[in-house]
Amino acid sequence: MPRIYLSAPDLAGGELAMLGEAVASNWIAPLGPHVDGFEAEMSARLGVPYALALSSGTAALHLALLVLGVGAGDRVWTSTLTFAATANAIAYVGATPVFLDSERASWNMDPGILVDELERAARANELPKAVIVVDLYGQCADLEPIAAACKRHGVWLVEDAAEALGATYRGKPAGSFGDLAVLSFNGNKIITTSGGGMLLGARKEWIDRARFLATQAREPVAHYEHREVGYNYRLSNLLAAVGRVQLADLERRVARRRAIREHYRTTLGERPGWTFMPEASFGSSTFWLTCVTVGSPARRDALIASLAAVDIEARPVWKPMHLQPVFAGARVFGGAVAADLFHTGLCLPSGSGLTGADLERVVAAVQATPA
């Protein structure tokens, strides 16, 4: 039987035709009509005026911090429960990461902690230059109080919506919050270009500046003139062609991932100790990954092992950044909630390409594992 992956790429069907057309047109470059089209379609869908297609979500995070002027000596606060890319971008610009715990309602950054700690930091003259709030596993953080607190203190807000394209917060799309927002089209994401990302924002000068830095900081003159260090971060026109086809299929993908989570909930929801990652009242999640806490680390490890034995991939919830050796010594506000979610949390296969038979296989394998 074929291996069942956590979140395998899911073809919409038109990718090959669009790629063929792009190849035939000879636009095999990190610019071209599909890059422009992909940016325009994403910007229209999210209601954000400007978008920049990039080689990865990590590149988008890096450029977001550069554009906001974050550098050595600055502090950047972010969610501790995230993938390393969020925190790595802070390190790339030489800033100091500070980590914030999760709230139970959404598993995302606890807005109460943010509000209190920003007040305290303002009094101590220790405000961060920016906050990167992560929308985890397809669900938005509680963005309104987070954005309001940042605004009150003059702190830039970056929304890391890499995992949440298709989600909404109070009716507004993930990726449309913050001064800048970031998406990822990595192979495991809800839409994929194999690798890719996007930076979005309402200020033209920021997106123009990011485009310049992403194109080796090449001055707009015929000879090759450079006054700054730049990066090679643009998305290929071929990959943008794939992205456009995938984006047009987003609604189906969201509906499928939500249905997969519902299937797991109805078939496995009664297992002792199991609690599914909640859907917070303020938004609609894509359930990019179906996540569940299972009561103890031993149970979590036993489930991963028994699923692996029948060729099914399941993974622990992200290991929080404040527990990572690479960020040892970094400051953390709270941390116990994120640590608990990590120690007992599990992500189940959730790809929108999973069939009913695949889901039966996963459910049977879980049920065959002693509770």
Question: Among all residues, whose Cβ is closest to ligand PLP?
Answer: 57
Contact 63, 55 (CB under 8 A): no
Give the shortest CB-196-to-ligand PLP separation in angstroms.
7
State the binding string over 46-65 for ligand PLP (x if CB under 6 A, else -): ----------xxx-------
Judged by beta carbon, residue 102 or residue 184, the one nearer ligand PLP is 184
Stretch of 12-20, 77-85, 309-317, 358-366 contacting ligand PLP, by CB under 6 A = 77-85
288, HSE (Cβ side, Cα atoms, 13 Å):
27
- 3 state SS of 109: strand
Give the shortest CB-331-to-ligand PLP separation in angstroms.
20
Q: Look up residue 106 and give its amino acid.
A: S
In angstroms, the CA 339 to CA 322 distance is 9
Binding residue for ligand PLP, selected from 85, 141, 199, 241, defined by CB under 6 A = 85
Stretch of 30-38, 79-87, 263-271, 326-334 contacting ligand PLP, by CB under 6 A = 79-87
304 binds ligand PLP (CB under 6 A): no
Question: In whole angstroms, how large is the CA radius of gyration of the chain?
Answer: 21
Give the residue from 109, 112, 105, 121 showing the smallest Cα distance to 79.
109
State the binding string over 168-187 for ligand PLP (x if CB under 6 A, else -): ----------------x-x-
In angstroms, the CA 93 to CA 48 distance is 26
Binding residue for ligand PLP, selected from 5, 50, 77, 83, defined by CB under 6 A = 83
Binding residue for ligand PLP, selected from 74, 110, 142, 160, defined by CB under 6 A = 160
Binding residue for ligand PLP, selected from 143, 162, 191, 247, defined by CB under 6 A = 162
Dihedral pair phi/psi, residue 282, rounded to 5°: -85, 0
Element (H, E) at 158: strand 156-160
Judged by beta carbon, residue 107 or residue 274, the one nearer ligand PLP is 107
Task: Give the strand pairing for 275-276 and 180-184.
Answer: unpaired
128 binds ligand PLP (CB under 6 A): no
In angstroms, the CA 126 to CA 34 distance is 44
In angstroms, the CA 101 to CA 322 distance is 9
86 binds ligand PLP (CB under 6 A): yes
Contact 306, 369 (CB under 8 A): yes
Neighbours of 337 (CB within 10 A): 18
Neighbours of 237 (CB within 10 A): 24
* Binding residues with ligand PLP: total (CB under 6 A): 14
Which tokens hold the place of 167? 């989600």
Give the shortest CB-197-to-ligand PLP separation in angstroms.
5
**Dihedral, CA of residue 350, residue 352, residue 357 and residue 362, to nearest 10:** 0
163 binds ligand PLP (CB under 6 A): yes
Judged by beta carbon, residue 56 or residue 293, the one nearer ligand PLP is 56
Judged by beta carbon, residue 103 or residue 160, the one nearer ligand PLP is 160
Judged by beta carbon, residue 56 or residue 290, the one nearer ligand PLP is 56
Judged by beta carbon, residue 117 or residue 159, the one nearer ligand PLP is 159
Which residues sit at the interface with ligand PLP, rule CB under 6 A? Answer: 56-58, 82-83, 85-86, 134, 160, 162-163, 184, 186, 197
